[in-house]
Amino acid sequence: MPERISRHSREPASLEERRATFDRQQIVMKMFSDNARTYVQLSGLALGVTLTFAHEILNIPKDRSFVDIWMILMWACFLVAILAGAFYQYLAAKYLESIIEWEHSTAWNWLAPGAIYALMLTAFYVGTVVFTVYAIIRLGQPAFHVGHHN
């Protein structure tokens, strides 16, 4: 059975091989970082959309509170996605820095960038599902009308 080689178990032998390894890693990390940036932007927009949705679509007056547990859950998910996306970009840069042979901080070496990336994706999609379910439920209810008492 072939032995699996971890990314740190075998150092590239030549300078050319080390440069090629770094170049490949840099390309991959750039693609993931660009994707993380997109999720950060989408999460920020989603936070704004939840506010607009409550006031413009559900007709909740701006002076009336519309915050409930579902809104808090949505906001928390999108905020976690924003923070995780930004932190992922930092960890990706630190990972690339660790490949280069120079002094660097090893404080975050214990945390794999992929774990934070997975957290970002999970938070974004949970927030999106909660928003969708919330919207379907709220749109199925009678609209709130100012001045009408039943």
pLDDT string in tens for the chain (150-residue length): 444 344 454 555 687 887 888 888 888 889 999 999 999 999 999 988 887 777 677 666 677 667 789 889 999 999 999 999 999 999 988 888 877 766 777 787 788 889 999 999 999 999 999 999 988 887 777 655 444 444
Task: Let me know if residue 41 belongs to a domain.
Answer: yes
Domain assignment of residue 45, yes or no: yes
Find the angle CA(59)-CA(41)-CA(74) to the nearest 5 degrees: 45
User: Does a structural domain hold residue 65?
Assistant: yes
Does residue 85 lie within any of the structural domains? yes
Give residue 44's domain range. Answer: 17-140
DSSP class of residue 141 equals: S
6 part of a folded domain: no
> Are 84 and 119 within 8 A, CB to CB?
yes
Residue at 111 is within a domain: yes
Q: How many domains does the chain have?
A: 1
Q: pTM for the complete prediction?
A: 0.73
Residue 104 belongs to a domain: yes
- 8 A C-beta contact, residue 79 and residue 62: no
